[in-house]
Amino acid sequence: MIDIQRLYSLFKECSKVTTDSRAITGGEMFFGLKGENFDGNEYALKALELGARYAVVDEGANAASSGDERIIPVPDTLQALQALARHHRENTVVDGRRLTVIGLTGTNGKTTTKELITRVLSVKYNVTATKGNLNNDIGVPLSLLAIDDDTQLAVIEMGANHPDDIAKLVKVSEPDYGLITNVGRAHLLGFGSFEGVKKAKGQLYDYLAAHGGKAFVNVDDPDLSGMAAERWPDNSVIPYGLSLMKAKVIPSSSDYPFLRMKMPGGVLVETRLAGAYNATNVVAAIAVGLHFGISLEEAVEAVSSYVPKNNRSQMEKTDRNILIQDAYNANPSSMAAALDNLALVRAECKGALLGDMRELGEESEAEHLKVLNQVLSMGLDMVCLVGDEFKKALATRPSGSVSWFASSEDLAAWLKDNPVSGMTILVKGSRGIQMEKTLPEL
């Protein structure tokens, strides 16, 4: 049994929490987490040597019997980390009230939407948000434990690869508000089916409905609207959407290849995001901002100032080409949206470099064939596919207009020997394919 009060009192003495001994700068509480291929308990004493104030370890670890008073043995370090995060979340008070937490999940656009919401809310509040995409059973507790005395709102991103992941994460983060960006055909190997995806992501709605929370719901999305109606028959949600906000996407061009939208009253939203599919992410952030007292003009300005990074909806002009960099991850719904957007881009020469989509289970071959059919219907000037799953799709539908490569390294080598210029090129694939390795050759 974890003595959470004692652990929390020790945590309050520390500068921050870390699970990486290499990140120690002094004063941290180190958690020795154990995984399939590592055991952080082995680095506990080293963490103390480097300046950590305390090290939390499993009771059976060697460090637990070291006699060092700075070692804190617990039955399970991950459970202790999560319990500490939940306790900190529950005991953080802002203006006499428990801190407000906004929880965020979805198949696509989670991180971009979280960044946009954070940028908008930061106009008026001190916001603590998930760093990058630290959205799993370790990342969520670490994000919560980063909440400090200055925090007025927290925005916590939650990811899921398995049916009960969100249910576990909401028990740690205890959100007051929630937003699901969308539900799509991703991680089917873990979820089993699209209905499995909806059920898993819907656990955020389940928690909010059971605890008197509020959901921001995109009323243009029939899946999300239906899921919300099942939990809130009285429709007591906070609606948003392109139609509701009367926002219209302006077609991109070579002069302005990024997403632009026109709002009522002639308000123009000019972003640095690549892809019309980001329009719903933008209106989600604006809707959250409006609910929390941010004016439309302030929200639009905040959105316009956001510059994406880490190969998420980035657009870059190189010396030779225009690149739509969306290489951080891929699934059938995000791949279709990215190709739809490429079709809308006004450019003389267009191409696509696409890598395999992972974790699709029995649906993988059919889903890759759908992507192949879509890309062949677009009449692109260059199509390069990477990975075994696309190889299977090409065996079903051979095409002389498509080049196939076993790896992103092989494609990069080919591009080096066969340079391309004057093209607008979409680069997208699952994380494991590492399509960003092709970027230096473009």
pLDDT, tens digit, for every residue of 101-159? Answer: 999 999 888 999 999 999 999 999 999 999 877 899 999 999 999 999 999 999 999 99
Which alpha helices (DSSP H) does 232-313 contain, by range?
242-245, 279-291, 296-304
* C-alpha closest to that of 116 among 361, 277, 307, 249: 307
CB 424 within 8 A of CB 324: yes
Indicate the pLDDT class of residue 316, thresholds 50, 70 and 90: confident
Question: Which is higher by pLDDT, 388 or 255?
Answer: 388
What average pLDDT is seen over the chain? 92
Residue recorded with tokens 């906000």: 245
**Which tokens sit at 146?**
């980063």
If you average pLDDT over residues 319-329, what whole number do you get? 85
Domains of the chain: 4-82 (3.40.1390.10), 92-304 (3.40.1190.10), 314-441 (3.90.190.20)
User: Residue 424: CB partners within 8 Å, gap ≥ 6?
Assistant: 254, 257, 321, 322, 323, 324, 342, 345, 347, 349, 350, 351
pLDDT score for 186: 63
CB 143 within 8 A of CB 169: no
* C-alpha closest to that of 180 among 216, 208, 153, 155: 216
Indicate the pLDDT class of residue 1, thresholds 50, 70 and 90: low
pLDDT score for 15: 93
* C-alpha closest to that of 132 among 328, 272, 334: 328
Which residues pair with residue 6 across a beta bridge?
A: none
* C-alpha closest to that of 342 among 369, 317, 324: 324
Indicate the pLDDT class of residue 196, thresholds 50, 70 and 90: confident
**What percentage of residues in the chain have a pLDDT greater than 90?**
74
pLDDT score for 92: 96
Backbone angles phi, psi at 161, to 5 degrees: -115, -15
CB 244 within 8 A of CB 219: yes
Lowest mean pLDDT among 97-101, 107-111, 313-317, 345-349: 313-317
If you average pLDDT over residues 46-70, what whole number do you get? 94
pLDDT score for 255: 72
* C-alpha closest to that of 118 among 129, 108, 109: 129
User: Residue 377: CB partners within 8 Å, gap ≥ 6?
Assistant: none
Backbone angles phi, psi at 233, to 5 degrees: -55, -25
Which pTM value belongs to this model?
0.84
- d(Cα 257, Cα 412) in Å, to the nearest integer? 25
**Which tokens sit at 142?**
């670490």
∠ CA 430-224-374 to the nearest 5 degrees?
40
pLDDT score for 378: 94
